[in-house]
Amino acid sequence: MAKALTKSQIAASLADTVGISKKQAVQTIEALVGLAYKGAKNSFTIPGLGKLVLVNRKARMGRNPATGEQIKIPAKRVVKFRVAKAAKDAILGSK
């Protein structure tokens, strides 16, 4: 299985594709990530890629895998990424 690209590899590829310096590409990536962190509370969409959303999970009963004892898992908020249909079609191919 191939390894995931590092931040510097992504920045270098972006710089070559767009025709900017690697430093500008890193700044662009960091700005996009900063926007995503700030906007995730209201949902943050990257067109063609997907959407960051906050989801409220209900409290539930779980099981400790080591002992089999039932435990109560409290309610909490989690961040989810919903992949856009265009990204799914591009990666998996349309049916």
Which tens digits make up the pLDDT trace of 26-51? 999 999 999 999 988 888 999 999 99
* Phi, psi for 45 (deg, rounded to 5): -110, 135
Q: What is the mean pLDDT of the chain?
A: 92
Whole-Å CA distances, 11 to 15, 25, 75: 6, 5, 38
CATH architecture assignment, domain 41-95? Irregular (4.10)
Q: Identify residue 33 by its one-letter amino acid code.
A: V
Q: For residue 6, what pLDDT is reported?
A: 92
Tell me how far apart the alpha carbons of residues 64 and 42 are, in angstroms, rounded to a whole number: 34
The pTM score is 0.75
Q: Identify residue 71 by its one-letter amino acid code.
A: I
Domain with CATH 4.10.520.10 in the chain: 41-95
